[in-house]
Amino acid sequence: MPQFSMKSAGMLIGIAMVVLLGWTFASNDSFSVARQNLLIEEVLQGNLAQTIEGYGTLSSERQQLITSYSAATVKEIVLKPGAQVDKDSVILRLENPELEQALQSAEQDLNQAQANLRQLRLNNQRERLNETANLAELNALYENAALNKAAEEKLVEQGIVSQLSYQQSVLEEKQLKQRIEILKQRISHLALVHEESVNIQQERVNQQQGLVDIAQSRLDKLTVRAGIDGVLQRLSVELGQSLSAGQEIALIGSVSELIALIRIPQNQAQLVRIGVPAIIDTRRDEIHGEVRRIDPIVENNTVEVEIALHGELPASARPQLSVDGTIIADTLENITYIKRPAGSQSNTSATLYLLEENSNQATRHTLQFGVQTGQFIQILSGASAGQQFVISDLSNMSEASDTLVIN
């Protein structure tokens, strides 16, 4: 009896060791995770839009940079950044006493030039009157000489007047007629001279008027206006600040005409083409648009893409608003794809756990990925539509286990 007990005990110990070893090996080949802690996605098949995600801001399509026209001092700030403006809105007022003095001096010179023009016209009129009077006097003498000639012509036939006297009357009439013709030509030429002299003086007046207009314009520009309808995006001056000519004062941007400036990863920029559609998310609304420009400069491994927005903009759209952008670069037709697993990238392979049908177990399978598009990634091989994979990152649990038990 003791012998049988010892043999039975030995067998029990052996069986227990086999079971223990089997459990140990099984523990090394599998591990368990609660289902609520896993992300499980089904493999899909069909057309998939190849999208590129980015981030950026809305920006005014029309912007106007306002600079100081001349040296001045900031006298009054009327509006601050964020204020809605129209083209006549006053942003601030500047001060420059020298511009006021320049305007007064220019106006005085203009008044003098205008007075000189009036004086010239009076002198010309007086000279024309004198010449007209001379012409009238010559006409009277000519008419008198003509009468004498006519009278003597009859008397010379009767022998009452000598031939010499008659010839003198004929000569006098002829000379007066020539003098009248010469005086008429002189008066005609004098009118041209007067007209040209008035034109020259008028040009001087116009030039001086231009100087007055320039001085007035420079003075008017001390009252700084927006110039376009929009919003005051930036004010670069302070009260009492001295400005030099050309120094920046403010930046005005349109409100109704906006574009989106989206930064996308450099390695996806080659997929983007001019004219492809895009969707801009303001966190409250979605705005449709299309790619209009791709910046060739790379900054921090990103490329800026300009999106032209279509249709009427929603109320949530405003300049400098942070937005997300989705560019639809292409459509991949009839492909196999899955929601992108953690850490996966385009044109790489990864090992995921495939859920077995009618079982709570998943086994490791290697998948070859193709193009990544948004939150999805193309599967080139290793899976078929309808299969379910664990896409959670399980590397920190057990990389060597071939089997996953889902509780």
Burial bucket for residue 297 (CB in 10 Å: 0-12, 13-18, 19+): exposed
Q: What pTM does this model have?
A: 0.57
Whether residue 10 has pLDDT greater than 60: no
Q: What is the DSSP letter of 401?
A: -
CA-based diameter of the chain, in Å? 207
Structure tokens at 294: 């791709």
> What local confidence, expressed as pLDDT, does residue 115 receive?
95
Give dist(CA 308, CA 291) in Å, integer.
6
Could you tell me which residues come within 8 angstroms of residue 353 by beta carbon, excluding any fewer than 6 positions away? 362, 363, 364, 365, 389, 390, 394, 404
- For residue 108, the Cα-to-chain-centroid distance in whole angstroms is 43
pLDDT of residue 159: 65
Phi, psi at residue 150, to the nearest 5°? -65, -40
Q: What is the pLDDT of residue 400?
A: 53
Which one has a higher pLDDT value, 166 or 204? 204
Give the SS3 label for residue 387.
Answer: coil
Bridge partners (DSSP) of residue 251 are: 65, 234
DSSP 159-173: TSS-HHHHHHHHHHH
Amino acid letter for position 58: L
Distance, CA of 90 to CA of 68 (rounded, Å): 14
Output the average pLDDT for the chain: 85
pLDDT of residue 331: 86
Q: How confident is the model at residue 318, as a pLDDT?
A: 87
CA atoms of 283 and 66, how far apart (whole Å): 32
Q: What is the DSSP string of 70-95?
A: SSEEEEEE---TT-EE-TT-EEEEEE
Does pLDDT of 213 surpass 80?
yes
How far apart (Å, rounded) are the C-alpha atoms in residues 163 and 155?
10
Tell me the average pLDDT across 58-83: 92
Rounded to whole angstroms, the Cα distance separating 308 from 259 reads: 5
Question: Residue 285's pLDDT band (boundaries 50, 70, 90)?
Answer: very high
Identify the band that residue 161 occupies on the pLDDT scale cut at 50, 70 and 90.
low
The pLDDT of residue 109 is 94
Q: Which residue has the tokens 């110039």?
A: 227
In sequence order, what DSSP letters do the residues of 3-41 get, joined into one string?
A: HHHHHHHHHHHHHHHHHHHHHHHHHHHEEEE-GGG--EE
Q: Tens digit of pLDDT for each residue in 334-371? A: 999 999 998 888 889 988 889 988 888 888 889 999 98
d(CA 308, CA 310): 7
pLDDT of residue 26: 41
Instruction: Take residue 191 and report the two structure tokens written for it.
Output: 């009118």
pLDDT value of position 71: 92
> Quick one: angle between helices 163-220 and 97-158, nearest 10?
170
- 132-143: b or e for each residue (b if 16 or more CB lie within 10 Å)? eeebeebeebbe
